[in-house]
Chains A and B, each alone.
Chain A
């Protein structure tokens, strides 16, 4: 017996085709979304830890010291003008004042213990660059990059938090065009950023831009 010719039933129902198209669309959407999400996540302040203040052994307030008491940055970060490393104050530096002031408070107990037991304080990094980046504080200060340009308005923050993403793109934004980000000499160490400008500061600081975007300027 031969099969009778008749109406051929479609392999898939029209609903299935619709479902397939919807699924396809959803897939495309999912891929796009995951891309967007990933991008957003890794560019978000959360991932870059902007505004995130890590736990510190002592709840040190930059607002109080730098803005209210007008203590110069260099009083504690003493090597910022001379070395790649800005310098962290030694226990003795803190004790210059705090052997007398608030010396018995609970908050400063780690400091007193550090002195008594001759064990250094251990501060959590707020701004951490990868090991293959060689950043030098002194040259940035010498060329008119204010503390606040990278560290934010420390005079307004109680607990120190990261202010800028410190990504390579962020670095390069300035290395490609430093002029708008320079500060006049009097406001380099300002605890709160003051208005910035302009091209004549490039001349004033004798900023040369030709090697600023060479890889080896920061990576060696």
Chain B
């Protein structure tokens, strides 16, 4: 898996079926035809002005509106760029605490969902197109029946929500139908399984222990966490504050990749390790060398991890923090809270608050399992499913589909006619969140108002509107009125209008403190629903003096049994670790081509999920990448292709949920392998007693990077935090004038010490620069089109390597190797140091790409543009050319944004301000690792970053003199004894 695997198999072979003469003949014909096509004058389009121009319409200039994107039901504040009413790009909202101007990959990709041609565009009755009126009629008859019975037999299934208006509508629904039942279902984590929601301040914790938690990358508050984490990790003038991140995890995650000390551990080992930590923490510093019974049974790696952790923890407490993954179960959750409490972190780096989301709402009758039981008992006569997809995400309830199908009335509101829609009598198209009014709360409780950017493209309606129509069919309830009604909160009209206007502009609502946690309606629900009150006697987290609880007792039975698991394939007793897919989540992102083609962090797989295994396990069992394994439990059998991941814990297999969908749409259907059948209920993230069998089949998994190692070349420099040394100097010989003559010298600095590798920049770039999606087959041929990619490396022992990643956009070399080989001058240098790509000059020789040492140039091998009648074209940025077939393209430093700023500055007769030009990747970055600006201005932020002694160039020894440079990955060393 090293250098020999650099090129795909067969890349060097001449295609059969075409000899040299044939090739030349075709080339000649193409040339002639290409010449002829230039002789046609473009004609056609007309200029179409408004009949009555809307107020503030400014064609040619984008407008930004504040709204919020739902992330597992929580709000994340965003600003949406629109061109003449056409939303084109999502940016973070700097005023919103859960965004602070940043976004993640999933948020960036949400704009593509808006234009998804597969979204439902009409209500379906038993699969046949119908109308909203027909639905209203049929529901009207049902409603009369239920009005008579007080709603008995009527059931509602929603996803857990934070929306005050939706909760208000649910309450009104219950008032109208007191006998009805409300169920909630999500396939993902409950962030407050016991009614309490933990919140962390990573910026104040100098020693962090994360247990199976990917809180920097996959969490409703991950942007906030990542930003505050990065605050302590930024090198300033060669110095960095001392801090340390310890991570215990089975599957390599991005949080694990940020760890200074990482311990791969199968879930079966976890409890013993935690007991070891408990014991080591309990020992006072005098007895540091001593080994207690719980530590003694651990492996040397585990022991040294614990020793180091305990030492650092003691030294910096209370600036410590233990984060337990939300998928880890309540025992570990309680353990981590107890550890925090003992370290003095509670109230300092970790706080808890009543749950913001409605998971534990006492009005709710339970989850999908409870619903299935009610269906089985015949207690449900009619069912309305809002947005949830339980048929796909809960296959463990085997009779769910049948029982829903048998109901006389069932309706499903969803964006796509998905698996659940297929079993319901009615399917209703749900509007996208950019098309509707709504409200949500952030993870920290901040309420946000969501405003529509565009009328529903496909005639969908929001959950609010549909729910309202169910209980109040005569009232005119559009989303706007419903949301305003919630937030009026007894204000005088003028006062409310001011508050409302400010909420729309800022993207967050000011609210009375008294209403926090309620549903926004004064006096209706006095306390947060379903959350334990502060009575310490019933509070499971108040442990008083006796600190961390023992884990072994709970786990002993399981742990011993699985020790023998490595014996062989047939042995029952492997552990399966499930996780939401980093890109498509629980499956809701399946039909988003940007997310499908975005390489998964660390595995770099595209378009599929896989069964991830450790190198040791692969070697022991003779499994190669792409071998199809049969994974089975007593209840289910699933086949999945294997993928070897260095750093994966031995003895367990990891699989991402969200794949193997049968009715996702054109993009998502039939991709990857469905892991849901192996799951035991929505809270089951670890499945024990897994059997693995080899099949004789292979499955083509496609990755964008086959290299594991850096081959000793150090593209990513790794330095210890106590010796942040300067790199060896790069050669400076050049025949050309060293600095281009322009007024500005654009440059970029990327800080690998804070970069998470979260891919937000990749999708932001794709969205900004109209980069196409090419499909799995093309990626397999190395034809992916991302202008910025995240390279990843595994350094050291494959069992526990250091996980490194590095964003690589075009380096904008001053001595650009691509420029000198272009025969047509299609790539040339600008006066400001940009390596320009001129699409209309490019004839597609690809010499430039061959001569580029960074391999950042992308070629349109085929016509990757969407068909002209595709709604996806509406997403395109009008300021960037949509490239045709046969054209090379690459990162331009978002030159359209530079030009915009240049024009704005010139019209204002002022210089371009530092920070005025922000590239799309920089703007999206949650940790501000990417800094862009003018190197000609010594006081600019990018100049300051580049003056850091540790600043280095990627492959600088080639004398390309890149304008994009890096700051090294800093590994934090332990704390010196006081």
Contacts and interface: CB of A to CB of B under 8 A. Distances in A.
Tell me, yes or no, whether A binds B: yes
B906 A90 contact: no
Nearest to B38: A42
A121 interface: yes
Interface in A114-140: 114-115, 118-125, 128, 130-132, 134, 136, 138-139
A87 interface: yes
Interface string B806-850: 000000000000000000000010111010101110000000000
Interface residues of A, number: 45
B831 A130 contact: no
B60 A211 contact: no
A46 B232 CA distance: 67
Contacts of A213: 831
Interface residues of B, number: 41
Given A85-B60, A217-B899, A220-B895, A91 B50 contact: yes
Please indicate which of the listed interface residues B49, B52, B741, B839 has the most CB atoms of chain A within 10 Å of its own CB.
B49
A138 B51 contact: no
Interface in A73-110: 79, 82-85, 87-93
A215 B50 contact: no
Interface stretch (B40-48, B359-367, B709-717, B723-731): B40-48
Contacts of A118: 51
B895 A122 contact: no
A176 interface: no
A9 interface: no
Given A83-B59, A216-B892, A89 B909 contact: no
Contacts of B42: 128, 130
B60 A79 contact: yes
A123 B903 contact: no
A120 B41 CA distance: 26
A122 B50 contact: no
Interface in A155-174: none
A44 B957 CA distance: 52
B493 interface: no
B834 A216 contact: yes
Contact of A215 (B46, B838, B896): B838
Nearest to A124: B46
B834 A214 contact: yes
A150 interface: no
A128 B840 CA distance: 17
Contacts of A131: 881-882
B26 interface: no
Contact of B58 (A49, A82, A130, A136): A82
Interface in A185-220: 206, 208, 210-211, 213-217, 219-220
B903 A136 contact: yes
A115 B831 contact: no
Contacts, number: 127
Contact of B51 (A114, A123, A136): A114
A211 B903 CA distance: 12
B956 to A, nearest CB: 25
A63 interface: no
A90 B60 CA distance: 15
Contacts of B828: 215
A85 B50 contact: no
Nearest to A133: B840
B61 interface: yes
Contacts of B535: none
Q: Which of A114, A132, A213 has the most CB of B within 10 A?
A: A132
Max chain A Cβ within 10 angstroms of own Cβ: one of B58, B840, B899: B899
Contact of B53 (A92, A122, A136, A206): A92
Given A210-B743, A211-B743, A211-B831, A216 B836 contact: yes
Contacts of B59: 79, 83, 85, 87
A50 interface: no
A-B residue pairs, 8 tightest by C-beta: A85-B60, A83-B60, A88-B49, A214-B830, A84-B60, A90-B50, A122-B46, A90-B53
25 contacts: A79-B61, A82-B58, A82-B61, A85-B60, A87-B59, A90-B49, A90-B52, A121-B48, A123-B49, A125-B45, A132-B839, A136-B60, A139-B903, A139-B906, A206-B909, A211-B742, A211-B743, A214-B832, A214-B834, A216-B892, A216-B899, A217-B899, A219-B839, A220-B879, A220-B896
Interface of B: 41-42, 45-53, 58-61, 741-743, 828, 830-832, 834, 836, 838-840, 879-882, 892, 895-896, 898-899, 902-903, 906-907, 909
